[in-house]
């Protein structure tokens, strides 16, 4: 999709203007590509694919409003810090709608962004939605977000996981839409083998490092 390049440039400009963390930008581009691949399994409609891609690309832009001491903390967040961090999905929706034109499509994308941390069992945030009450594209974004998060190093976990699919299997029906995950699993296995398998280590091996 040719317009994806222009979306990336737009986000890159936001990175430069707002001191948006580079690692979050890279993660957002990764998640956008993964989400687009999953979305393409469900629909050939380019407009719908575009919604998935743009929501994923902008899903974490609200982290530009999170204090660096919390965003890049090495270790578990305290409750007060977690409450602040959890606001980033609301900030992302707000920032996206401030940048985008005020039309029905962008409002829909804004809602997808808002709900990308909702969990299938209703334990997520910001609105504790559950099951099919969570927008479909938010559920796609959740899978893509989790997959990239556990296959790439993090400030609180400086290693990757080789057994990402096994980890995600345990999240099925809890954090993740179980049917959507099953539909996506074959694609994720290919991505893990072709793109994410280099220099990775098993979770149980890595935890002892």
- Please, are residues 187 and 148 in contact by the beta-carbon 8 Å criterion? no
Task: Tell me which residues are annotated as active site.
Answer: 63
Count structural domains, the chain: 1
Using one digit for the tens of pLDDT, what is the confidence trace for 162-202? 688 999 999 999 999 999 999 999 999 998 887 655 544 44
The domain that holds 143 is classified in CATH as 1.10.3210.10
**pLDDT given for residue 25 in this prediction:** 83
Q: In whole angstroms, give the CA distance from residue 63 to residue 84.
A: 10
Q: Can you give the three-state secondary structure of 90-135, one letter per residue?
A: HHHHHHHHHHCCCCHHHHHHHHHHHCCCCCCCCCCCCCCCCHHHCC
- Please report, in angstroms and rounded to a whole number, the separation of the first and last CA atoms in the chain: 41
Q: Per-residue confidence at 10, pLDDT binned at 50, 70, 90? A: low
Q: State residue 14's pLDDT score.
A: 54
How many angstroms separate the Cα of 155 from the Cα of each of 58, 124, 136, 169, 202? 21, 22, 30, 24, 18
What average pLDDT does the segment 50-69 reach? 93
Phi/psi-derived region of residue 135, left when phi > 0, alpha when psi is between -120 and 50, beta in every other case = beta
* Domain hosting residue 152, numbered range: 3-206
């Amino acid at each position: 999709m040719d317009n994806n390049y222009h979306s990336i440039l737009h986000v890159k400009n936001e990175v430069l203007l707002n001191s948006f963390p580079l690692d979050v930008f890279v993660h957002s581009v990764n998640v956008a590509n993964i989400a687009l691949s999953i979305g393409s399994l469900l629909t050939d409609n380019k407009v719908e694919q575009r919604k998935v891609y743009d929501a994923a690309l902008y899903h974490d832009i609200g982290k530009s409003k999170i204090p660096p001491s919390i965003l890049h903390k090495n270790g578990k967040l305290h409750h007060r810090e977690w409450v602040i961090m959890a606001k980033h999905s609301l900030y992302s929706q707000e920032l996206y709608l401030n940048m985008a034109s005020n039309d029905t499509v962008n409002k829909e994308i804004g809602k997808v962004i808002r709900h990308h941390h909702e969990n299938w069992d209703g334990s997520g945030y910001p609105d504790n939605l559950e099951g099919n009450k969570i927008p479909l594209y938010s559920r796609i974004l959740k899978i893509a977000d989790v997959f990239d998060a556990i296959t790439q190093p993090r400030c609180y976990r400086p290693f990757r996981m080789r057994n990402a699919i096994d980890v995600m299997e345990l999240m099925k029906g809890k954090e993740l839409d179980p049917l959507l995950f099953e539909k996506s699993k074959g694609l994720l296995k290919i991505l893990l083998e072709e793109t994410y398998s280099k220099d990775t280590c098993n979770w149980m091996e890595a935890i002892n490092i």
